[in-house]
Amino acid sequence: AQSVAQPEDQVNVAEGNPLTVKCTYSVSGNPYLFWYVQYPNRGLQFLLKYITGDNLVKGSYGFEAEFNKSQTSFHLKKPSALVSDSALYFCAVRDNNNAGNMLTFGGGTRLMVKP
Amino acid sequence: EAGVAQSPRYKIIEKRQSVAFWCNPISGHATLYWYQQILGQGPKLLIQFQNNGVVDDSQLPKDRFSAERLKGVDSTLKIQPAKLEDSAVYLCASSLDRLYSPYIYSQYFGPGTRLTVL
């Protein structure tokens, strides 16, 4: 079975400061990892994904994420937060043994960026 | 490129009534997904289609939920009869993924349908 944990319900950061949103996962095989963002009354928007290769993945809107196999983590990061980054962030995992392409999502982390 | 379209955006019904949601995926996307997102939780997969065939419906409450993708393009999700606990946002997503393909694609989501069951 595959699972994802986002240990923080909410992350507060001041505008201009770096931000980190945490994600840990569990799979039986090798993981495919994704980050999505959800703005109010909108569907999920794809930010970035890790499939293989370089552990640091760069995505949309200046976000990046670092894959750490030994810690089974895939934390989302941004060097300088913007107020407009305030939204709900979801980490998702797919096991490479899962031929059905099923994604399992974490419970989400609300990011609040204050001016 | 047009995104995933869903309708209606909002629906309010009373318990025991029926409701249907519609989804039109991104053109060319073979795989279509329906998710249920309860307030405060992450999306949970209900059913996955590849073209007009069901790939995974293990988490679909089949006593009341049904879904179809008859021509392999758009899809409908139906709830009959609805219960209070069905209140949620129903998200449709699509991707270029195919079973057993070595290529991994991202899923693209529609805006969702917010269902309130009274």
Tokens of B98: 């195919």
Q: Band of the pLDDT at A1, cuts 50, 70, 90?
A: confident
Residues A67-90 have a mean pLDDT of 96
Search chain B and give the residue with CA nearest A4: B42
CA distance A36 to A87: 10
pLDDT at residue A36 greater than cutoff 70? yes
Residue B58's φ and ψ, nearest 5 degrees, are -65, -25
pLDDT tens for B45-55 read 999 999 989 99
pLDDT score of A86 more than 70? yes
Higher pLDDT, A96 or A46: A46
Q: Which residues on B lie below 8 Å from A101 (Cβ)?
A: 31, 48, 55, 95, 97, 99
B101 DSSP 8-state letter: -
Quote the pLDDT of residue A28.
87
The pLDDT value given to residue A78? 97
For the segment B56-103, what is each residue's pLDDT rounded down to a tens digit? 899 999 999 999 998 889 999 999 999 999 999 999 999 988 877 778
Cα-to-chain-centroid distance, residue B99: 19
Backbone φ and ψ for A109, nearest 5 degrees, come out as -130, 125
Nearest CA-CA partner of B114 in A40, A59, A11, A102:
A40
Give the pLDDT score at A99: 62
Mutate which: B99, B107, B115, B116, vs A, most A CBs within 10 A: B107
